[in-house]
Structure formats: structure tokens, C-alpha cells
Structure 1
Amino acid sequence: MNSIHFRRWSDQLRDSDHEVYWFDILDQGYAPSMSWMTQITGWKKGFLIKRGRTTIKKYFPKIYNYLSDKLDTKVETAFAKALQDIKPDVVHSFALYTSCIPILPIMNKEVNIKWIYSSWGSDLFYKKNKPNYHKEVPAVLARVDYLFTDCLRDYHIAKNGGFSGRFLGVVPGGGGFEFHTDKDFVKNSSFIVKGYEDALGRCINVLKALDVIARKHTDISIIIFGASKKVTEYLNRNTGRDYEVKVFGKVSNSEVIDLMLQSKFYIGNSISDGLPNTLLESIFCDCIPIQSNPGGATEEIIKDTINGFIISNPEDVNAIANSIEMALLSNPSSILMENKEIKKAYDRNEIQAKVLAIYNSLAV
């Protein structure tokens, strides 16, 4: 799908002498930012090709679903045609439920085509609200030949779930990260907080913890990015704070980086994730990271109190407040020094060289 992580990953292949095709699994349309690759888009629409679909989907969802089911091209049909036309050496799918399960019937027929699966975020770890997990996930894992994960935790889950192919390594879902030495922001905000409050995100618990912290530390300020509706509603209901809170909704990746460069501490809190890209971005922006640790993924790079702080329970406001308190009392210079090694390991150039070497090995 056309996401920041996929765009960043695929850009590693630009000018690599590989022929790269993008099958737009959600048929979201041509992407100018990926003009260097051959894009397979516009395959889906069978009715109201130019306009009107969004209106029908919004106001008449039952009619939309009926027409879509009857008249739109099925993903299996479009993908099978793409395979026939391209005859690729390898298919690479990003995210299991979005990009693996829909094409599994075709890949099961095309057993001679090698298949890479990149596990993202909660793909393998989170099972709630996935009633067919124990059927669908093993079916994909049994078919894929190669596996990238964004944390070692998910490799073990995949292996226990039936994956027996070649593990290609732990690599962030969007590739590596860039140093931000060209900007000299004054870090005038105490905290930048990831504002997701949904099935997985638990931003409101962080805000409650910061209210506790503010009773003792009166000079704090907060930036919230990606704030969901529930977060803004919570802030509107609970007013009277003596510290500054700046709230941003949907923002671009470059805007997030600019906000991180202004902040001393980063807080991300969720009940499920892989190794969060925003956590790694915060480290590259010289923030002191405070992050939840679902399934032990975060502790693969964060050693509690050494190079960051781990939230032991994302649902426990007191546990979150305790991690924040320890961060406030820590030695920032020592933590930033420890994270120099993380920066080296996840540097964009280093990761790109590693990824290209892997792709080259598959093309032999």
C-alpha cells in the first residue's frame, strides 16, 4: 500500500539496476513520489470509474458494497494478470493482512515464484480482533520463502507459526534513518507524545501520567502529534493544566521530525507494536525515549535506564509516571552517548547496503 514506510523502503532500490514493479494492492492511484518504478494501478474500479464512488460509499454503504462486489475487479484477478505479464523473479509483500492474505490463493498456485514477506508492527504479535488468525497466518507463513521482521520477537513468532524459509534479518519497516545534523533546533519542549488512542494506542494514559508528573515538575511542556479524536476530546474535557500543551493531528513525517528536534523526551505507548519507527526516529533526533514494550520488542534496543526508559505496563498510569520520573532525573548526556551505537546500526546508508545485498543474493 502507498504508505510512508513502503515509500521509504522501496526508495532503497532506486538506481539499483533491479526492475521494480509496484502492485497497488489497495488501488489508491498513481504515486508521483514513486515514478521511478512501474506502477500497476487503476485495476479495480468497475463502476463510476471517474467520480461518485466516495459519495456512494459514505452515504449508501450497502449499495456501494453490492456494486463493488458485482462490478469491481477482484484483487486475485488483477494480481494474477500482473504476475503473468511481468513474470517476476520474486514477489515482496509488506504487511500480512493488507498484502499477503489477499494474494495467497494466487501465490499458492504459482509455487515457483519466490515470495518475501515483511512483517510490520502488530502483524504477528496481536491476535485480538483477528478471529481467523490461527488459520490465516500459518497459511501465509507456510507459503512464503523469505522473511524480514522489524524485531527479533516476530521472527520467533513466525518460526513457531510454521515459517521454515530463509530469515533475511531484522530491518525497520521503512529501512534506515537519517541523521539530522543540518538543523539546530532549541529543545524548548519537554515531551513529544505519539497521540494514538485506538485499538492499540494508549496516549490518554500518558496524558494522565503527565498530569501526575506536573504536580512535582512544574516546568514541563508537551507536544502531541497524530492526536486522534479521543485524545482531543479528552483534553477538551480535562482542562485547567498549568503547563503548555500543543496538539497536532495528522502530520507529515518531516513535520514529526521537526517537532522531535524541538523536544527533550519522546513517549510512545501502545499495547501492541513491533519495533516502532517513531521510537527510532526520536533517537536520531536526540530525544530521550520512553516507550512501552509489548512482547519484549522495545527491549531489543532499549535497555531500561541505560539508553532510554521502558514503560512496564501501558495500561498502568502509575507505571508510566514512574518511567517519566526516572527519565526526568536521568543524565541526558549519558543516554545520548549510549544511543550513538543505535544510530550507527540503523543509519540509512548502512541499512540500504544491507538490504541491497540481500536482494542481490536472491537474484542469483
Structure 2
Amino acid sequence: MKILLVAIPNHHFFQWANQLKESGYEVYWFDITDGAGFVEKINWVQQFNGWKLKWNYPFRYRIKKYFPRLYSLLEKVTVNKTETVLETIIKEVQPDMVHCFEMKLSGLPILSVMQQNKIPLVYSSWGSDMYVYQNLGVSTNNVKSFLNRVDYLITDCNRDFQIAQQLGFKNQFLGVFPGNGGIEIESEYIQSINNRKAICVKGYNDGVGKALVVIKAIELIQFDSSIDFLIFSADEIVEDYVKKSEYFKQRKVEVICRKSFVENKLLLQKFGSCLLYVGNSISDGMPNSLLEAMGMGVFPVQSNPGNVTKEVIRHGVNGFLIENPNEVVAIASLIKMAVENQEMRVKAQEYNVSFAQKNYKREILRKKIINLYQRIYLELKNE
């Protein structure tokens, strides 16, 4: 079986692709952005990269920065069209199916090509793909046209399947899977409640992520001196704020910037000694880091756009749901309650670790993911 994957170079995509390693399938990847070169993380996959530029002319980056109009004109004659390149790849590979990850960056750019053929198209919805596609600059007509061509849909939450149906999707739904194909659980690093001393905060503050609201909420609370802080995937604005904050100057704080690379295994080990995970955004799918934190026994305090995280968190039982991502005082109250209620956190840790292992553990999902493609292939053969 030949599977052509179409995706941006993204850590979650690489993790999904690696679930197919040693499956016996022939797997190809078309880097839709041509932004990564050859990727060692999936070195077993046959990769199509280096396709974009016909000619890497002198001073290209300088022209792009200072003479954008000239750059746009030059692009027309120096850059290969995505559609033309994909058509060539399809003719060369003759894939049994095409699987694209994310709609705006991967799905819509290949739509015109896929509308010219009958190759089964699998689509994995990511993040805000379905929930607030308008905010991403995608029109309703484009979404409907795209979903009309999609034969098989995978989402990371039930919410987005329902939205896809409302937008006219009528073909096969393959189920809810985390966007990275499943989470690792480093069980030996899961600490008891008494050994958990850090509050970790997801540091996205990019218009959608609202980490600064969480940081300001924390500044309202007088914690015991034993409490430390881990701020991971921090945007620059968050780093700068924490450095200047008199509150955090008095605390032990580890900030991992968003641009730096941290081994997933190391981050999971850090989660294993955290007492709270706080993630806050106005829009998202099911956050992979939330699932990873729950799997490592961290008590989650998480925003709930479109009721997506309500699918895994029962408020006051195995976590807290943030009602308003912009409300500093309310978030501070939730964080304070979570820290003070040790009995609740003990019960939540036991539940969350078991829940994550049962529903999201990578080893368990691997066979299911391999079988998804086999199911599609067998349906084709039986037609």
C-alpha cells in the first residue's frame, strides 16, 4: 500500500508518521511548505522536499525584506507551483490514498489537484481548523468545497466532527485521535502528590494562546516558598514579562522558549513532578500537551473553547475548566483552589493517569492507526 502524506514540517506530524514505521506500508511525505529539508526524525519516509525554487537567485532574502513588490514578481518566475509539483508526485508515486494534515496550510493548497482525481483523500483536522476557520482567513465556501472532497475524516475531538457535519461533511468518520498519534507516558517519572512542587504553564501568547493572563493570575497569589514554576513553549513576550516581573524574581522559575527544542521525553519527565498544568487559549483543538500532562499525573487547569476540553476534564473532579480565558481573577481563584485541595489532586492523579493510558497511550493507538489505512485500502479493493 502506498500512502502519500501532505503536511507542514511539524513535530506532531512527525510523531503521527512514525506510528506507521515498520507497518509494511510505503509512506511518502510531500512537505507542502518546502521549509525543512530532509527530516531525520522520519528518515524512513520517502520525502519530497527542495521542490519550491527553480532558481535561488542572489540577495533573495534581502529583496524579500526590502523590496516586497519586486519579490512577488520574481516569485512568479522562480518558484514552482504547488499544484504542478503535487501532480508530478502523484504520477510518480501512484498513491493508494492521500492524507493531509490541517486544512488551511495543507488541505486547501492541494484541493484543485484532488478535485481532478478520485484518489481517496484522508484529512486530519488540527487545532482551530474547524472551530474558528474564519479567524484563519478561510471562507465557509472553501471549507465546504474542501469537506465535499474529503473521503475520510479524522479529528482530535468530537466537537470538530460535529462542526464538520454541520458544514456538509457526509463521508466516513474514522474517529477521534490525538494529532500526534498518541502520547508517551514515562511512568517511572510519575511522582506522588507530596513530591510535586512546580506549577507549569503553557507559554503560548500569540493572539490565540493567553499565557500572559495566567502569569498575571499567578502574581495575585501568595504561594508557599516551596512552589516552583515551569513555563514551557513560551513566546518572547512571555519571556520578557517574566524576566521583568518582581514577583517571579523572588521565585524559582524555569522558562523554556517556544523556539528552542526540548526532547519530548525530557518535558514529560518535568511534567511528572508538576502539581498543576495551566493551559489557556481562546481557540484550540484537543491540546496534546494537556493529554501528556494528564498522563503524567498533573492536575489540569485548562480553557475550554467550544467545550473541547470538557471531553476529557470533569470540572472539580479530574481538573478545572477555565470559563473565560481573559479573566485574570477567576483563573487565579481556580489555581489557588487546585493547589490548596490536595485530596482532590490525589484522586485526580489516579484517574488521569489511568484515563490517559487507556485512551491515548501511543503503543495502544499504533495498531489502531495502522488499521485505519488498511481499512481504507480493503474498501478500495472491494469496490
TM-score interval, normalised by the smaller of the two chains:
over 0.9
RMSD: 2.0
Change (3 A) 1:281 1:53: farther
- Worse-matched range after superposition: 120-129 or 286-295: 120-129
5 Å-filtered alignment, 1:119-198, equals: 119-183=125-189, 187=195, 189-198=197-206
For 1:198-219, what per-residue CA distance to the aligned partner results, in whole angstroms no more than 9, with x for missing partners?
12000011011111122x6554
The aligned counterpart of 1:356 is 370
| Deviation of the 1:262 alpha carbon | 3.1
The aligned counterpart of 1:290 is 301
The aligned counterpart of 1:234 is 241
- SS of 1:248's partner is strand
| Deviation of the 1:31 alpha carbon | 1.1
Separation in structure 1 between the aligned mates of residue 296 and residue 44 of structure 2, nearest angstrom: 29
Change (3 A) 1:255 1:337: closer
Residue 41 (structure 1) aligned with residue 55 (structure 2): no
Structure 2 unaligned spans of 5+: 1-7, 379-383
Alignment partner for residue 261 of structure 2, among 246, 251, 257? 251
For 1:313-350, what per-residue CA distance to the aligned partner results, in whole angstroms no more than 9, with x for missing partners?
11111221122122113322211111112321111111
- SS of 2:254's partner is strand
Separation in structure 1 between the aligned mates of residue 275 and residue 187 of structure 2, nearest angstrom: 16
Separation in structure 1 between the aligned mates of residue 267 and residue 93 of structure 2, nearest angstrom: 38
Separation in structure 2 between the aligned mates of residue 341 and residue 130 of structure 1, nearest angstrom: 33
Separation in structure 1 between the aligned mates of residue 242 and residue 339 of structure 2, nearest angstrom: 23
5 Å-filtered alignment, 1:207-356, equals: 207-214=215-222, 217=224, 219-241=226-248, 242-249=250-257, 250-252=260-262, 253-330=264-341, 331=343, 332-339=345-352, 340-356=354-370
The aligned counterpart of 2:5 is none
Separation in structure 1 between the aligned mates of residue 13 and residue 61 of structure 2, nearest angstrom: 25
For 1:59-83, what per-residue CA distance to the aligned partner results, in whole angstroms no more than 9, with x for missing partners?
5444333322322101001001111
Paired residues of 2:186 and 2:269 also in contact (CA < 8 A): no
5 Å-filtered alignment, 1:65-84, equals: 65-84=72-91
| Deviation of the 1:84 alpha carbon | 1.2
The aligned counterpart of 2:212 is 204
Paired residues of 2:185 and 2:268 also in contact (CA < 8 A): no
For 1:153-210, what per-residue CA distance to the aligned partner results, in whole angstroms no more than 9, with x for missing partners?
0000000011111000000000111220244779554201011111200001101111
Residue 64 (structure 1) aligned with residue 64 (structure 2): no
| Deviation of the 1:87 alpha carbon | 1.3
| Deviation of the 1:128 alpha carbon | 4.7
TM-score under structure 1 length normalisation:
0.93
Aligned length: 361
Q: Aligned AA for 2:349?
A: L
| Deviation of the 1:246 alpha carbon | 2.2
- SS of 1:272's partner is coil
Paired residues of 2:304 and 2:323 also in contact (CA < 8 A): yes
- SS of 2:187's partner is coil
Structure 1 unaligned spans of 5+: none
The aligned counterpart of 2:100 is 93
Change (3 A) 1:232 1:336: same
Separation in structure 2 between the aligned mates of residue 58 and residue 193 of structure 1, nearest angstrom: 35
Separation in structure 2 between the aligned mates of residue 227 and residue 72 of structure 1, nearest angstrom: 34
Separation in structure 2 between the aligned mates of residue 41 and residue 232 of structure 1, nearest angstrom: 34
TM-score under structure 2 length normalisation:
0.89
Q: Percent identity?
A: 38
